[in-house]
Structure 1
Amino acid sequence: MFLKVKDLVFSYSSTRILDEVSLELEGSEILGILGPNGAGKSTLIRCINKILNPQSGIITFNDTNINTMTRMEIAKNLGYVPQTSTNPFPATVFDTILMGRRPHCGWRNSPGDIKKTLEILELVGIKDLAMRDFTELSGGQQQKVVLARALAQETDALLLDEPTSNLDVRQQLETMEIVRSLVHKNGISSIMAIHDLNLAARYADRILLMKNGSIFDVGDPFSVLTPENIREVYGVEAVIKDEDGRPYIVPKCPVKNCNECCQ
């Protein structure tokens, strides 16, 4: 068991965001977290990464309570990709990705760290951006650089908060293929908060569906992404199709008596 979350509670002032959330993450697994805005997806990932401190509950990684781990120890074990990233200091793409090696090497980079950075640049498909300034990149390019930095950490688990935000369709698929390949070939795990139901259905091994800060359902994509669950959580009618053994969700227009797209 890589990661275990038990009875997690988090609140902002008097507003409860997570209500006794529990989950388990196995090796070589992608767990997709779905739910509408405000369901608690990003908050859950930030609590797991110790960016936020929950009021109660326990999070363990490889049987170690994360509250006993330093920031550097967490960085050695958990790679994190936030929704949006800023790099306040001028740095090239190469140097930004190289920062991902710091948990292993401190401030002195070895030839092995340089080699690993070059490998990650090639893997993510951004080798041509290596000497560009991070701040000069588009939002989509920056997102791929931040993913590359997390991959350079060589952790046992990846926490991805909307990893495909700002990416076009082709880049979304390329990014998800990279994550799936790393997870299944290297035996690592990933928790992925995502809005796109069909991307989650296509790439996640299990789905955790959230509503109002609680877990509504969890299981394989076909058992969770049902018309009934989608109606209850999102308030949308949907048809579920089977596409090469994976569910494909076709939402119906929520506008009553629509004469434009529902003819």
Structure 2
Amino acid sequence: MNAIQTKNEEWALVTGSSSGIGLAFAEELCKQKRNVILVARNKELLIKESKRLEDHYKVKVRIIVADLTEKSGLERIFEQTKDLVISLLINNAGKEDSGNFLDIDIEDMNKSLSLNCQAPLSLSHHFGNLMKKSGEGEILFVSSIVAFQGIPLIANYAATKSYVLILAEGLASEFKPFNINVSIVAPGFTKTNLSPDISFSGVPIKPALASDVARTSLDARRMKLLFIPGFINKLLFYSGKYIQTRKANTASFGKVFKKVLHKKMESV
């Protein structure tokens, strides 16, 4: 699993990559014969998936066990990659808090801020500086279709994803002279283990496969600043941008999430 590396080898680092969209990104990169670093908290899953990817795709896969809500977790990443060339950073790790805002534990929401906002900020600053020195690099931010308006029942999560979107838009312009390509993917409903309380049975929207989101996002990253996977998600985006008012869009998404989160709301 930890094969010998040379200092000049290039690596892709994917956060939140023990499962879901993050693991799907890692798998797509392995298909492209890229060396990959998996970052997540779950050591057992990281070991299992890294061995599977190495054995199947015959590439090098490293793991870093780190909690990105803690400063020590970020420092561990910086320390364990100091002798490696990180040519692609995928800021994927995310935490969702849902339900009635006043009923959600404030510490849970603060952790969402740390993971969804502060972690990609710190990682992009650190590796952005290294990419600037090397003369090239790529950073892909995973935002969300919910980033374009406030949404009841996931107000904090939507706000954190809006932060990611705005940060990435600014960095895309700022980093361009340094030959660092910055792109954003804003997935809609996707089959992941982000929240066990989500049910898609009450909405007429079929969730995407994480593998499809990862594949199409990687294909589009050098052609588009913002990529929204899936026809329905694009329709929702353009409807909210050009047809509905922000107030109407917020109300529409609120109705959708009331259905999506009905299992959780019934248990409150």
- TM-score (norm. length: structure 2): 0.35
- TM-score (norm. length: structure 1): 0.36
Q: Higher helix fraction: Structure 1 or Structure 2?
A: 2
Structure with bigger RCO (C-alpha 8 Å, 6+ apart): 1
Q: Higher strand fraction: Structure 1 or Structure 2?
A: 1
